Amino acid sequence: AQSVTQPDIHITVSEGASLELRCNYSYGATPYLFWYVQSPGQGLQLLLKYFSGDTLVQGIKGFEAEFKRSQSSFNLRKPSVHWSDAAEYFCAVGDDTGGFKTIFGAGTRLFVKA
Amino acid sequence: SQTIHQWPATLVQPVGSPLSLECTVEGTSNPNLYWYRQAAGRGLQLLFYSVGIGQISSEVPQNLSASRPQDRQFILSSKKLLLSDSGFYLCAWSEGADNSPLHFGNGTRLTVT
């Protein structure tokens, strides 16, 4: 069965610094991978997705993620963090059994300090 | 454009009382619909999903049920709430194709007292 691991429960970065959030997945074939962001008390918003093709995918709000099959990773990056990026970030993998059961990681909460 | 509405935003209910949370989607037809529950530090747990009217799949045995009386309406219910039903409930929709991205509502914070 698929699984997603986000090793960092929370991360603190300074405003303007670069960011990398880690995500490792377990999947039998080429995975469908997603990153979502959640502001406090809100629903989740899709940042980016990877299905196939170029392993570096661009998303909204200046985020990008790189798929590395050899490392089973799909890390999220941003070159310069803004205070408004403080939120919780979820990595997710699509279902390989029929398509409807997206599996989410436990999330990484990002704190941004001035 | 497509929108998803979920209500109420917050709800406080006593143990043993019934529950009804409603979710509607606009601007699309025949969406896949989902109910997730989110516990602090534990990610999202899929409770139910539906690929069509009257078609409900349950992922976790529990005190809750779901119904889809119309194409773009998804309801989460309980006859008698338990303390353990407290949590943040999220409705979501996706296109009919496999592994389409999810689009979430703003959630309902349910506190059972």
Overall average pLDDT of the A4-17 stretch: 96
Closest CA to A102 of B35, B61, B24: B35
Whole-angstrom Cα distance, residue B44 to residue A106? 7
Overall average pLDDT of the A27-43 stretch: 88
pLDDT value, residue A88:
96
pLDDT value, residue A97:
67
Closest CA to A74 of A53, A49, A97: A49
For A16, other C-beta atoms within 10 Å of its C-beta total 12
Enter the DSSP assignment of B72.
Answer: T
Residue B51 CA: distances (Å) to CA of A14, B92, B94: 44, 12, 10
> Mind listing the pLDDT tens digit of every residue in chain B (113 residues)?
889 999 999 999 999 999 999 999 999 999 999 999 998 767 899 999 999 999 999 888 678 999 999 999 999 999 999 999 999 999 999 987 777 899 999 999 999 99
* Chain B: residue whose CA lies nearest to A47: B101
pLDDT value, residue A99:
59
pLDDT per position as a tens digit, A75-114: 999 999 999 999 999 999 987 666 578 889 999 999 999 9
Chain B CB contacts of A49 below 8 Å: 101
A31 touches chain B (CB under 8 A): no
Contacting A with CB below 8 Å, chain B residues are 6, 32, 34, 41-44, 46, 49, 51, 57, 59, 90, 92, 94, 97-99, 101-107, 109
pLDDT value, residue A41:
86
Chain A CB contacts of B59 below 8 Å: 101
Whole-angstrom Cα distance, residue B100 to residue A82? 29
Minimal Cβ distance to B106: which of A43, A49, A105: A43
Residue B17 CA: distances (Å) to CA of B63, B78, B80, B90, B113: 12, 8, 5, 20, 10
For A84, other C-beta atoms within 10 Å of its C-beta total 10
Please give, rounded to a whole number of angstroms, the shortest distance from the CA of B12 to a CA of chain A.
Answer: 16
pLDDT per position as a tens digit, A39-63: 988 899 999 999 888 899 999 999 9
